[in-house]
Amino acid sequence: MVLIISIFSRPTLVFANDGGTHIKVGIDEKLGKQIPLSLKFKDENSREVYLRDVADGKPLIIDMAYFSCPGICDNVLVGLSDVLEKVDATPGSDFRVATISFDPGDTPVRALSKKEQYWGMLKRPFPSDDWKFLTGDSVTIHELTDAMGFYFVRDRFMKFTHPTAIIIVSGDGKISRYMYGTSFLPIDLKMALMEAKEGRVASIVSKMLQMCFSYEPTGNRYVFNILRVVGVVTLVFVACLVGFLITSKRFVKTKMR
């Protein structure tokens, strides 16, 4: 059972070596845990806001980034803008969004520039207050990222090594789901928002469904992905076979004694 669960879980932790010191970089999922909604940030208009007011009791999509990022953060923002355009949910009533910088050197001016670029891409009605771009000090940032299991490091070139994901939390701050990568399916986000609204966390079943089915946008439905299933079954079979051979070898050695 542990093997099957690990196969359907994403490998989310890597390690960066810095002069012999191993520093964790990646995501350590903390599903069902609370994030501190009492944390205070500055929004793109330099106004101080509490995270609880940003969520306003609605499911909150959190995108961690830094505003001078040379590449991957912008890719996530493009993917996020795209899925926000397409998701069958209403901003403000069904969800809210916060892009939060983990660089304490970022400023509201930079935040506003990013907001104009990516919130400005949206064609659908999307109130400005429903997508905040936030900055904060180092202590506040680390309190939030530690609570979410989001780990990053700054290199000697003053750039950050960090994971790519958006994190869905409920209106009362409970972590409901992690969605990895730089592009996201509207149906996956809608399901995540529904889970967050009901205070549920992503289950192994939902991860299995994502693994075994592919989304077909033309039919707006999931279709069975035989290649993925065969691959997973093969991995399970090989793992069981290896386990059986190791156990058998130990048993024979014990009997010979």
Tens-level pLDDT at each residue, the chain (257 residues): 444 434 344 444 444 444 444 448 888 999 999 999 999 999 999 999 999 999 999 999 999 999 998 889 999 999 999 999 999 999 999 999 999 999 999 999 999 999 999 999 999 999 999 999 999 999 999 999 999 999 998 877 778 888 899 999 999 999 999 999 888 999 999 999 999 998 887 655 455 555 554 444 444 444 555 655 566 567 667 777 777 777 766 655 565 55
Does an H or E element contain 213, and which? strand 213-216
pLDDT of residue 146: 95
Domain annotation covers residue 218: no
Q: What are phi and psi of 4, to 5 degrees?
A: -65, -45
Other Cβ atoms closer than 10 A to 128: 10
Which residue bears the tokens 């959190």? Answer: 62
Domain annotation covers residue 111: yes
Domain annotation covers residue 236: no
Pairwise CA distance, residues 171 & 162, whole Å: 26
Domain annotation covers residue 220: no
Domain annotation covers residue 167: yes
Helices 226-256 and 204-212: angle between axes, nearest 10 degrees: 120
Domain annotation covers residue 6: no
Q: How many domains does the chain have?
A: 1
CATH number for 170: 3.40.30.10
Handedness of CA 46, 51, 52, 58 (dihedral sign): positive
Domain annotation covers residue 130: yes
Residue 89 in tokens = 């949910």
- Note down the domain range covering 85: 11-202
Model confidence, pTM? 0.74
Question: What b/e string do you get for 74-98 counting C-beta neighbours within 10 Å, with b at 16 or more?
Answer: bebbebbbbbbeebeeebeebbbbb
Question: What b/e string do you get for 151-166 counting C-beta neighbours within 10 Å, with b at 16 or more?
Answer: bbeeeeeeebebbbbb
Pairwise CA distance, residues 177 & 71, whole Å: 24
Domain annotation covers residue 242: no
CB hemisphere CA count around 212 (13 angstroms) = 12
Task: Please calculate the CA angle 180-184-185 and round it to the nearest 5 degrees.
Answer: 130
Pairwise CA distance, residues 92 & 131, whole Å: 9
Which residue bears the tokens 């299991």? Answer: 149
